[in-house]
Structure 1
Amino acid sequence: MRVGLMIPTLLHGGAERAICRLSNILAEEGYEVYFIVFDASQQFYTFSGELIDLKLPNGKNLMDKIRVFRKRVKAVRKTKKSFNLDVVISFIAAATFVNCLTRSSTKCIVSQRNFMSKETTSKIKKYLLRYCFHKADAVVAVAELCRLDLIENFHIPRSKVHTIYNAYDQQQIFNQMEESIEKYHQTFFENHTFNLVSVGRPEYQKGFWNLIKVLYLVRQKGLDCGLTIVGDGSQLQMLENLSSELGLEGHVQLTGYQSNPYSYIGKSDAYVMTSLFEGFPNALTEAMCCGKAIISTDCPSGPREILEGKKNLKERAVTAEFCEFGVLVPSFSDTENWKANEFDKKHEIMSDAICELLNDKKLRGKMGSKARERAKSFSYGECLKNYEKLFLELQIGSKI
C-alpha cells in the first residue's frame, strides 16, 4: 500500500514532529511511504520514506501566493498519479486545501490538529476548511473534543470524523531526557530550589504571558522557583520585557528552540501549560512520558481528555482539579494582557496549585508516576491500529 504524507514544511513544530512519527510507524509496518513537502529546504526531524520536495515555498505577496498555490495543486495532482498513491494524509491547513482540491481515485484524509472553533477567527479560512472537510474521504481529529467540535459546530458528518491520538515512543523520549544541556542552562536549574518547565512556540496560542505572571505569584508566596520556556517564537522579546518589569531577572530563562526539549523537561520539578487552546498537546504528553507532574489549563482541547479520560469532556475547571493524571486549572482569558501590574483570580488559582504540588514531594512523585503510566496509552501500536482500522473502512489498498 502506497501512503502519501503531506505537509507544507519540515520546520520545528508539533504537527511536523507528529507526521514524521507517523511516517516511521507506517514504514516500520511495511507501508510504502512518500513524504510530500512543499518546501523541504529545512528539516528538523527524521522521517521514513521517500522525500518528494516540491520546492514551492510560500509566496511573498498575494499574487505570488496565488501563483504558488496553483503550482502546488498541479504538482500534487501529478505526484498522486505518478506514484499511484492509495491515500494521501495531509497535516496543516495549507496542505489540506491542496489535498482536497486534488482528490481523485487516491483517497484523501485530512488531519485537524487544533480545536477548530478557536484556531482561527478568519471566517473565510473556516469556510474553506469546512468545505475541505466535507470534500475529504475522512477527517482525523487528534482528540475527541476536536471531533465533537467538527461535528457540532461545522456540521461535518459524524461518520466522516475519526479520533486518532498522536503517538509517542516513550522509551526514546525517556532516554533523551537523560542527555546533558548547555552549562549555563544547567546552572539556572541548579540556582533554584524548584523549577518549572514549559515547551512551545512563544505565540498567542500558548498564553505564556500568563505563565510569567503565575511565576511572579509563586515567588511572592515564598517559593524559590525558576521557570524555563523552551521554544522560539514572535513573543520572546515581550516575555523577556514582562519578566524584567516583574523583577524576575535570573528566574526566567528563555532558551529558544532546542532539538532535545526532553533534557530540559527532565531537569524540572513539574511541567506547566498555559495554552488558550490546543488539539492534542504534544509537549504536555511528552512531559508525561518523562514522568513529570503536570499542571495545565483546562483549555479546549486535549488536557482534560489526557489527564482525566473521556468522561466529562465538556466540563471546564472553575478551580484547581487534582485529577488522576495531573492538575487542571481554569483557562485564562482569550485577551492578551501584558500589563505587569494586572493579575486575576485564575493566576492565583494556578499559582496556588503549583505551590501545593511543589511543597508536597510525595504528591509530585505520585502524579509523575501516574502521568508516565497514562502516557503508555498513546503508543505507536495504538496509533497504527487506528489508522489501519480507518484504511479498512475506506477500503484502501490490498494490504489490509
Structure 2
Amino acid sequence: MKHISILLPDLETGGAQRIMLLLSREFSRRGLQVEIVVLKTGGPLYNTIPEGVNLTLLHANGQGLRFALSSALRLAGWMRQTRTDALLSSLRGTNLLAILTRSLLKAHLRLVIREAASVSKTATGLRLQAMRWLYPCADCTIAINPVMKEELTTCLGIPAAQTVFIPNPVDINWLRKKARAAITLPWPKDKEKKIVVSVGRLIPEKDFPTLLRAFALQPASLKARLIIVGEGPEQKNIELLIKELGLDESVHLAGFDDNPWRWMASAQLFVLSSQAEGFPNALMEALVLGLPAIVTR
C-alpha cells in the first residue's frame, strides 16, 4: 500500500488546511495509507481529521525564529524515521521548511509542494529569494490557477516540467450532505427578510469592513440580514465597526463552524469581499450549493 504524508503548520481554519483534510479523506478512500503531519499542536480543525487518516503531531513550540528552529528539528526527526513514499506540503513557510530539511538530510522521499498565493503579488524580500533558491528543489510544485503556474517559472525559475496546475477540489456529494445539517438562525424566520452569508477567516485580506459598509447602504425596503461565518484576529475591529454602522440587529458573527455549508444552505445570497484570492474555496462551495453570489474584483 502506498503511503502519503501531508505536512501542515497547524490545524487552524485556513483554506489550505481544509483542502488538505479533504484530500486526505479522498486519498484514504482510494486505498492509500494517509498521514497528516502537523508542526504545531492545536487548532479548531483538530477534531475534523477524517476517519482512517493518521495524525502525527510534532509539537513544535515558540514564536518566530524559535518556532522555525523547533519545527526544523522535529521535522528532521520525523523524516529520518518515516517510511512514507511522498510528502505533500502546503503553505509557503511549511514548503520552504520541507524543502530545506529534505535537502540537508538527503532524505529519499518524493516532495510535492502546493503554492496557493500569487508570487508576484505576495512574495518580496528575503522570502522571495528563499523561494527562488529552494522551490526548484521540490520534485513538483502545484499551482491552483493557470496564472500562478506561469509565475512559478517566470518569478521563481522553476522549470515548467516541474509545475502543474491543479484547481482546488470539491467533494460535491459530501458537501451537499453536510449542508443539510440542522441549524438555528439568530433571528425568527421571516420570508420577507433575506439572508446574506459570507464565509472566511477574519483577517485583513478578506476585507469584511468593505462588506459591512456596503451592507449598511442597503435600502430599508430590502430588509436583508447578514451572517459572517469565521473567526480571526480582526474580530474585535469588525465588532466595533458593526456597532459604529448601527448594524447590531441585522448582522450576526457566527464564529468558527466546522460545517459552514449549513449556513450557506440557509441563505439566499453569498458575498465574497476579499482583496485577493488564489482560489476562492468558499465561493466555489456556495455555487455548488446553488447559491447566487456577489464577488468583489
TM-score > 0.5 by shorter chain = yes
Instruction: Give the Cα separation in 2 of the matches to 1:202 and 1:65.
Output: 24
Whether 1:56 aligns to 2:60 is yes
Secondary structure in structure 2 of the residue aligned to 1:52: strand
Asked whether the 8 Å contact 1:8–1:39 carries over to 2, the reply is yes
Equivalence for 2:19: 18
With over 3 angstroms needed to count, the CA separation of the structure-2 counterparts of 1:129 and 1:279, relative to structure 1, is same
Contact in 2 for aligned 1:96/1:132 (Cα 8 Å): no
Query: What whole-Å deviation, never above 9, does each CA across 1:36-65 have from its counterpart, x for those lacking one?
Result: 1113444042234322221213x2354x23
Contact 2:119/2:151, CA 8 A, preserved across alignment: yes
TM-score between both structures, scaled by the size of structure 1: 0.67
| C-alpha distance in structure 2 between counterparts of 1:273 and 1:171, whole Å | 23
Label 1:40 to 1:190 Cα distance change in 2 as closer, same or farther (>3 A).
farther
| 2:44 maps to 1:39 | no
**CA offset digits 1:279-329 (Å, max 9, x no partner):** 2121111111211012112xxxxxxxxxxxxxxxxxxxxxxxxxxxxxxxx
Residues 147/61 of structure 1: CA separation in 2 closer, same or farther (3 Å cut): closer
- Structure 1 segment 169-318 matched on structure 2, within 5 A: 169-183=171-185, 185-187=186-188, 190=190, 193-219=193-219, 222-297=221-296
Amino acid at match of 2:234: Q
Shift of 1:169: 1.6
2-structure distance, mates of 1:10, 1:133: 24
Contact preservation (8 Å) 1:114, 1:277: no
Gaps of 5+ in 2: none
Structure 1 unaligned blocks of 5 or more: 298-330, 332-400
Kindly state the Cα deviation for residue 243 of structure 1 after the two structures are TM-superposed.
2.1
3-state secondary structure, aligned to 2:142 = strand
Q: Is contact 1:166–1:280 with CA below 8 Å preserved after alignment?
A: yes
User: Secondary structure of 1:126's partner?
Assistant: helix
Flag the 1:200–1:162 CA change in 2: closer, same or farther, 3 A.
Answer: same
Corresponding residue for residue 119 of structure 1:
122
Where does residue 148 of structure 2 map in the other structure? Answer: 146
C-alpha separation in 1, matches of 2:153 and 2:133? 13
Change (3 A) 1:66 1:202: closer
CA RMSD of aligned residues (A): 2.1
The 3-state SS of whatever aligns with 1:35 is: strand
**Which whole-Å CA distance do the structure 2 matches of 1:116 and 1:195 have between them?**
36
* Contact 2:145–2:165 under 8 Å retained in 1: yes
Residue 10 of structure 2 is matched in structure 1 by 9
How big is the shift at 1:34? 2.2
CA deviation after TM superposition for structure 1 residue 73, in Å: 4.0
Amino acid at match of 1:51: L
Contact kept in structure 2, 1:141 and 1:163, CA below 8 Å: yes
Change (3 A) 1:260 1:190: farther
Q: Please state how far the C-alpha of 1:194 moved relative to its aligned partner.
A: 1.6
3-state SS, counterpart of residue 218 of structure 1: coil
Task: Measure the CA separation in 2 of the matches of 1:206 and 1:271.
Answer: 14
How many residues end up aligned between the 2 structures? 289
Amino acid at match of 2:223: D
Aligned to 1:388: none
Distance in 2 between the 1:128 and 1:119 partners? 14
1:130 is matched with: 132
* Contact 2:89-2:113 at 8 Å conserved across structures: yes
Is the contact between residue 88 and residue 107 of structure 1 (CA under 8 Å) also seen in structure 2? yes
TM-score (norm 2): 0.89
Residue 98 of structure 1: how far off its partner (Å):
2.3
CA contact (8 A) 1:76 1:99 kept: no
Find the aligned partners of 2:48 and 2:122 in 1 and give their Cα distance.
24
Secondary structure, counterpart of 1:10 in structure 2 = coil
Deviations 1:166-215 (A, max 9, x none): 222212221222222235x253x648622211100110110111101111
